[in-house]
Amino acid sequence: MLKNLCITIPIIHCGGFSIRKILTFNQWLGFRRTISDGNVRNEIIAQPLPVIMKNILLAIILFPLLNFSQSSKTYMELVDDAKTKKSAEQIEKLIIGTWEFQKLTDKNGKTIAEVKHFVNDTITATEFVSRPNMRIEMDKTYELFGCENSENCESGIWEYDSKAKIFRMTFDKPKYNVPIDKLAPGLLEQLKKSGSLIEFTKNEIEIAEITQTELKVFEFLESDGTEFKYNLKVYRKK
């Protein structure tokens, strides 16, 4: 009667575990003989079921954590992934020319005509979107023009940092967080000593896409560092 008995044998393999199909008693005897003869490679009889279940639970718990640690990226890596994949040589060639600002869009391409800025709980400012045009020359000079506020226009020297993948524009003249030409000399010195006067010497842009006729530049939005949030400034080559 024992010869008709069916037995289920759990087997552990090198790459994990599996449950062998139901065996007859004769197959089981043959399997045991194979083990005793030392002919089984990369598999052993499984541990008791409670141990197997414990290993399964550990795998269920740990696998998502391992997967997350391998797939999660830093904020800068997310930014780099979104940038154009064109080479520095291609970018430096394509960027030459006059670029007219066309529109501001969200990351899905929806046009943004107005931007709300919350000054405090009671004051909200509305910005009607406009950005300067850019003229990029082969001699490494540049100029921003067509600004609503002339203080925002500038000129200087440009370079493309191939390592950081950043288009850097260094101003001919530094800019400040306050209009220093309209301040009394005494107040200007006071701001300098207190550290309230902030000097800006360059501007950096990061390119999402660039072709012979179109340029898309990131306009960064506030983020907690776990997600890359941005709008896109879209330019058309004149």
Please state, as a whole number, how many other Cβ atoms lie within 10 Å of the Cβ of residue 188.
16
Rounded Cα distance between 46 and 15, Å, is 13
pTM recorded for the entire structure:
0.67
| Measured distance CA(32)–CA(38) in Å, rounded | 10
Domain extent listing, the chain: 2-71, 76-237
Summarize pLDDT for 104-131 with one digit per residue, the tens.
Answer: 999 999 999 999 888 888 888 999 999 9
Say which residues have a Cβ less than 8 Å from residue 215's Cβ, sequence separation at least 6. 95, 99, 207, 209, 234, 235, 236, 237
Segment 28-80, tens digit of pLDDT: 444 444 444 444 444 434 445 565 566 666 656 655 555 544 457 899 999 99
Closest CA to 86 of 214, 230, 204, 238: 214
What is 76-237's CATH topology?
Answer: Lipocalin (2.40.128)
